[in-house]
A = this chain, B = another copy of it.
Amino acid sequence: MNGTEPPRKRPTQADVARLAKVSPAVVSAVVNGRSGGGVRVGDRTAARVEQAIRQLGYVPNVAARNLAGGRSDIIGVFTYEALFPMDAMSFYHPFLMGVEEAVEELDCHLLLFTGSHVDGRRRAIYKNGINTLQHADGAVIVGQAENREELTALLREGFPAVFIGRRELPGAEASYAAADYSGATRGLVERISGLGHRRIARLHGGSAHESIVDRDAGFAAAREQLAGRLDAADVFVTPHSGAVTELVPRLVEQGYTCLIADDCDRADDACAAAEQLGLSVPGDLSVAALSEFSLAPTARDVTTVVTPGREMGAAAVRLLADILKNPSDRSPRRTVLDCGLHDGGTLAAPRA
């Protein structure tokens, strides 16, 4: 209770051993359920040791344990951006939910790599040469912005890592828990076609991220498959909100009756542009989105593909667990999950 005691060193196994008049090995055995190693302990001595442990307030040192044993029971989550700011949160939250859930089931702790920036605000996995992810037994990696070289290096190093979302890295096979964006896109187009639309336009954000490439593939597949029942299924690149606003009138003029946007922000923009023209959504023009994400809360309840974020997070952790349990199998682990569809009010049959 004195304000300035010497920073009291924590008691060690040896201290306990001394007090209990046994060897350190016995203490170790008692602490670890005295059954595993080659050391056996009688009930009487075990009791004495436990007494000593209580008396000294002994608590094993985790670092030492890791060093000797091998694993830390910590699973990491790495992101290149901060996790909790409001805008990022809406994106990361579903994943985190799943991750926490699965990590908890594994009885592991969850480490967020917030201390990994090199210069300025940019986060990095390798910090002056050392792999900071190592604090954990393995890591789940989420996010859009990335340093692909670093990620490749990480995989080559053999560090147990699983991505949330598909990743293709040169010269390394990544493990991941992904969403079937391709299938979802195809499904959405089929549904739109089924409603009677014959001229569909896709408003493409211009990204070449795997998640977008998958959607591209799904769109292309649908177009091919529905060739006879579609008059047009075209892709227009709209890098920013303004481009959408400009493009919509032209598309309407050209007879497109349904617009598919990459995300809800863009879809919202499209709706706004349509209403600007005096058109009603979905009466005169249908709009749908391929992803529910949006930075700003969108004004409309857009019909959109929904990413199974929670499931992806949980799946990623489970894949990681498998890697950790079976490290000799170096093959990539992959899970692909179905997307959902949120029925908003922006998609309907075209006007007769």
Q: Is A37 interfacial (CB-CB < 8 Å)?
A: no
Collect the chain B residues with CB atoms within 8 Å of residue A115's CB: 73, 103-104, 106-110
Q: Which of B59, B63, B112, B116 contacts A112 (CB 8 A)?
A: B112
Collect the chain B residues with CB atoms within 8 Å of residue A96's CB: 84
Contact segment of A64-72, A186-194, A275-283: A64-72
A93 touches B84 (CB 8 A): yes
Nearest B residue to A76 by beta-carbon distance?
Answer: B109
Q: Is A145 interfacial (CB-CB < 8 Å)?
A: no
Nearest B residue to A98 by beta-carbon distance?
Answer: B84
Chain A contacts with B in 244-263, Cβ cutoff 8 A: none
Q: Is A60 interfacial (CB-CB < 8 Å)?
A: yes
Contact segment of A125-133, A200-208, A227-235, A264-272: A125-133
B117 touches A107 (CB 8 A): yes
B104 touches A109 (CB 8 A): no
Chain A contacts with B in 84-104, Cβ cutoff 8 A: 84-86, 89, 93, 96-97, 100-101, 103-104
Q: Is A82 interfacial (CB-CB < 8 Å)?
A: yes
Q: Is A44 interfacial (CB-CB < 8 Å)?
A: no
A135 and B63 alpha carbons, distance in the complex (Å): 7
B100 touches A110 (CB 8 A): no
Contact segment of A218-226, A297-305, A323-331, A341-349: A323-331
A199 and B218 alpha carbons, distance in the complex (Å): 66
Q: Assuming A100-B84, A109-B132, is B114 touching A3 (CB within 8 A)?
A: no
New A-B pairs, 15, CB < 8 Å, besides A7-B328, A62-B134, A109-B114: A3-B329, A3-B331, A7-B327, A8-B158, A53-B129, A57-B157, A60-B130, A74-B135, A82-B104, A84-B97, A84-B100, A89-B93, A107-B115, A107-B117, A109-B112
